[in-house]
Structure 1
Amino acid sequence: MAATFKALHLYTAPLSGCSARIRIAAYLKSIPLIYHTIDISKSEQSSSTYLAINPNGSVPSLTVEASSSQKFTITQSPAILDFLSAHFPDPPLLPGIERPRERARVMELASLVACDIQPPQNSRIRKKIGQDFNGNGETWARWVYERGFSIYETFLETRRKEKGGGKYSVGNEVSLADVFLVPAVQGGLRVGIELGKWPILKEIVDECWSLEAFRKGGLGGHGRLVP
């Protein structure tokens, strides 16, 4: 534990892709988090107790005990990852500023997942589509995933033409791009996508899944890549 912090409490849900990003990063960096499971099936994220921690009623949330009398909470996975990366820098998940192209590529891919894939298909949106607009939330989610992964694959193809590729999304080192990608793929598999449509992406996900941190931190924790 970093000397300046007494404890780090992560509020997480097993099937939350955003939570899985934090769990994977924590395992990669050997960060000793204290886990608190929020049961989405029981709407615990909407309880008064949890809303006092995170008014948005979403997971993950990270409560930092800086001392016996001081603590603060960080919500939203990018903000939590930024905090953890600043205080637990090894191994780095973002290339340094001396590698501007690689750094930009990592942020580009992570942002694709964080902005264009995860939010449009999350459980709130799916429920709203079904209940209020007489639509099929799962069909919608499948379209979002397939569109997003097709774009991700295009970026990977371009990367291979530029630099010859690598084992992971950007080169031969695990990065934030992979930390964001794998939980999204797990979520896509749960609604019936066929990963073989994107061969380069599948190679990268398979490589990530060979690492214990991804298996332990992924959806469900100690979960499987496929449902």
Structure 2
Amino acid sequence: MLVNAVRQRRKEIEGKSEGGNEDGTLMSTLVAGMIRGEITEEEAIDNVVLLVFAAHDTTSYAIAMIFKMLAQHPKCYALLLQEHGELLSNEVPGENLSFVDVKKMKYTWKVARETMRLFPPIFGSFRKAIAALNARDSQFLEDGSILKVADMKTTLCLYIRPFRAVLSNQRRCWGYVQVLWTAYGTHYNTEYFKNPLSFDPRRFDEPIPPNAFVPFGGGPRM
């Protein structure tokens, strides 16, 4: 099914003028890269399969939490409903919404972002320290498996791997270890979000500091 979908999308893009992937969907972006020779068909299909597999859980969880927040905050629900009503008033009855229409739902997106701030679909991710990691006032379990860094904004879990520990000026240095970061470290940090336990979509009216909002991690496409 996915193979046919990718090949069908390729036909549609090739049948249009340059810029035929302007709908902004991930599949169109992957297929456009395939047409340009940047990735193979197998790589495009593998990425689609991976995302479908990963998204069935994260998407359903995010949607469920959005409904929960809207049910608990009727004023927010009223504003969201008003936005949808205004958008639909300009649409042809029975016509499906386009990606362009979805991008116009500014308040709806703020509701989604605030929900994912409180309930991140992804708990965290692993990163490999390619240089020494310095920290002050750190705390460990006896086996050295958990690292709590007092002077950093996130909580890092240091999984047991071969590493060197060096004592110097009350610092410990670790190099080439695998580190787990968690979204909660910044999402609930009062330095970045006032009253972090409250549900307030309007907090996203203003720009958020880089890497403070990371429900799916970071990167150029986030």
Higher relative contact order (CA 8 A, sep 6+): 1
Greater helix fraction, Structure 1 or Structure 2? 1
Give me the TM-score of the superposition, normalised by structure 1. 0.28
| Higher alpha-carbon Rg | 2
